[in-house]
A and B are shown apart, each in its own frame.
Chain A
Amino acid sequence: MQDKIVEVNFGPQHPSTHGVLRVKVKLDGEVIVDAQPVIGYLHRNAEKLSEMGYYPKAQIYVDRLDYAAALNMELGFVLSAEKLMDIQVPDRALWIRMMMVELNRIASHFIWLGTHGLDMGMLSPFFYCFREREKVFRILDEITGSRLLYNYFAIGGVYSDVTPKSLEMIKTWLSDFDKNLTEIENIFKKSYIYVARTRGTGKLSLDDTISYGVTGPMLRAAGKKWDLRKNRPYLHYDQINFDVPSQQAGDVYARMLVRIEEMHQSARIVAQVLEKLPAGDFYNKKYSKPMLVRIKATGESYIPTESPKGEFGIYLVGDGSAIPYRFRIRSPSFANLSAAPAMLIGYKIADMTATLSSMDPVFGEVDR
């Protein structure tokens, strides 16, 4: 019998693509021989709109890039903008930012873990993860006043101070966080089917990882201990103890382990911030209305930060006016997703959902 290549179109609406990804797959029997991701179904012209308004206005579009971890996105923007405009930020604001970013990272990884479970045919982790995620959201809601998209960081500080009540909430939440997470972790690790389906699936070698520009948990799962919070500390990460998890295998299972360990470490960071949080201003008093900052800037800046998906930063170029001349988003998911063919080809079609969801793509950020 002659080999027959079948072409299958996957998406843009598919429950396991985490959004609007389309993949054109060529199959030989059950084996994938070619896979081409097609993106752009959520291209919302964030860069163009940001180049049309004042600097602080761009923040609402930055917020909506990686909507699962909006504060991490805002951080990349405000750091870059502050560098460009030479704005000093009070110490308390830096510590608050660090705490908020880690809380948001935990929420983002919870979404990933829950939906990853769904993709692998496990319904219960989804409900456990969303239960835990809602606890984080209640804290973020208390501090920022909003659940998903916060617009909380501002050029020069943060919009509002943390209250003693919210700190108390964080303490209560921290007291049983590790226990609850371990409970969820065990659902994955002890599921024979899950382990069998993910060990050795979707492998990406370290060379390929670097060549495709893949960063974040996927890089750490491929054997490189690389975390910008350690390797190029911003905020006050150099004053905090935490470990960078890494695995050697580079498969879906390793990515799951890395992300779960990252959540434990994030909780550790939050606990330390609570101890060290200094008193003082939460906002640079020179700029009394953050949304009305109209500072003219020249030159360019790009501050890389470690978002839950990898290296994120905003490349800002100023032309001497109060409007960014060039506003380029370096989005980790875009680079991570470009490595998809290398992870899919050679595996079975049934492994595809596992591999795609292990990349944790968020399409607001891929398509921008």
Chain B
Amino acid sequence: MIPVESEASSKDGVKIIYVAKENILQFLKEKKDEGFDYLLMITGIDYKDHLEVVYHLLSSKSGERLVVKAKTDGEIDSVTSLWKGANWHERETWDLLGIKFNGHPNLKRILLAEGWVGHPLRKDYPMDKKQYVNLKEDGDDTVSFEKKEGY
């Protein structure tokens, strides 16, 4: 059994469990064996002094739901070995929030252009500093801060 750091409940009555980030892979594996076969989403929250990774689980047999959270400073283990769907969710969380998933097979930007600077959903992302994207001959993107270099 993996120790649980603390428990809480969300407004819609779903249990929230906090786990240490070292144990997250092990803990989710346990939960998956217990019947939580669906990984609905992985996301992150930027609390300025730390980041939190949030996993929403669902058991398709009982219909039960569970939220698992882990505090991190920007790195956590990937759960792609447990759920195939975790792949894109983790890439998105890396793209927009800059949380690194160790052991992910292909941790690249998914929504923004490759080469983008910064992670926009961070609270300190500079919204006034515009970036411009252009296309290279081979179809890849280039990103620059100069307006004349792209759109």
B60 pairs with A39, CB closer than 8 A: no
Task: List residues 55-75 of chain B with CB under 8 A from any CB of chain A.
Answer: 56, 60, 63, 65, 67
Instruction: Report how far A302 CA is from B14 CA in the complex, Å.
Output: 9
B11: chain A residues at CB < 8 Å are: 83-84, 86, 299-301
If over half of A's interface residues share one DSSP class (helix, strand or loop), that class is named, otherwise mixed; here it is mixed
Q: How many A-B residue pairs have CB under 8 A?
A: 92
B12 pairs with A208, CB closer than 8 A: no
Instruction: Report how far A317 CA is from B45 CA in the complex, Å.
Output: 9
A224 nearest in chain B by CB position: B60
A40 pairs with B40, CB closer than 8 A: no
Instruction: Report how far A339 CA is from B85 CA in the complex, Å.
Output: 7
Contact of A200 with B by CB under 8 A:
no
Provided the pairs A213-B40, A311-B40 are in contact, do residues A47 and B45 lie with their beta carbons within 8 angstroms?
no
- From A39, A47, A48, A315, B56 is in contact (CB under 8 Å) with A315
A300 pairs with B41, CB closer than 8 A: no
B12 pairs with A335, CB closer than 8 A: no
B111 pairs with A367, CB closer than 8 A: yes
B40 pairs with A45, CB closer than 8 A: no
A45 pairs with B120, CB closer than 8 A: yes
A9: chain B residues at CB < 8 Å are: 139
B120 pairs with A338, CB closer than 8 A: no
Instruction: Report how far A342 CA is from B38 CA in the complex, Å.
Output: 17
- From B65, B88, B109, A338 is in contact (CB under 8 Å) with B88
A339: chain B residues at CB < 8 Å are: 84-85
Instruction: Report how far A34 CA is from B115 CA in the complex, Å.
Output: 25
In whole Å, how far is A38's beta carbon from the nearest beta carbon of chain B?
A: 8
Provided the pairs A39-B111, A45-B120, A338-B87 are in contact, do residues A330 and B40 lie with their beta carbons within 8 angstroms?
yes
B41 pairs with A328, CB closer than 8 A: yes
Contact of B112 with A by CB under 8 A:
yes
**How many chain A residues touch the partner (CB < 8 A)?**
42
**How many chain B residues touch the partner (CB < 8 A)?**
37
Contact of A153 with B by CB under 8 A:
no
Q: Which has the most chain A C-beta neighbours within 10 Å: B11, B56, B84, B85?
A: B11
A301: chain B residues at CB < 8 Å are: 10-12
B10: chain A residues at CB < 8 Å are: 299-302
Contact of B117 with A by CB under 8 A:
no
Residues of B within 8 A of A (CB): 10-12, 14, 16, 37-41, 43, 45-46, 54, 56, 60, 63, 65, 67, 83-85, 87-89, 92, 96, 109-113, 120-121, 125, 127, 139
Question: Which 6 residue pairs of A and B lie closest in terms of their CB atoms, listed nearest first?
Answer: A213-B85, A40-B111, A301-B11, A212-B85, A338-B88, A43-B111
Query: Given A213-B83, A302-B12, 4 other A-B contacts at CB below 8 A?
Result: A39-B110, A47-B96, A48-B120, A299-B10
Residues of A within 8 A of B (CB): 9, 39-40, 43, 45, 47-48, 51, 80, 83-84, 86, 208, 210-214, 224, 226, 231-232, 299-304, 311, 315, 317, 325-326, 328, 330, 334-335, 338-339, 342, 367-368
Can you list 10 A-B pairs with a CB-CB distance of less than 8 A?
A39-B111, A40-B111, A40-B113, A43-B111, A45-B120, A80-B12, A210-B37, A213-B38, A301-B10, A326-B43
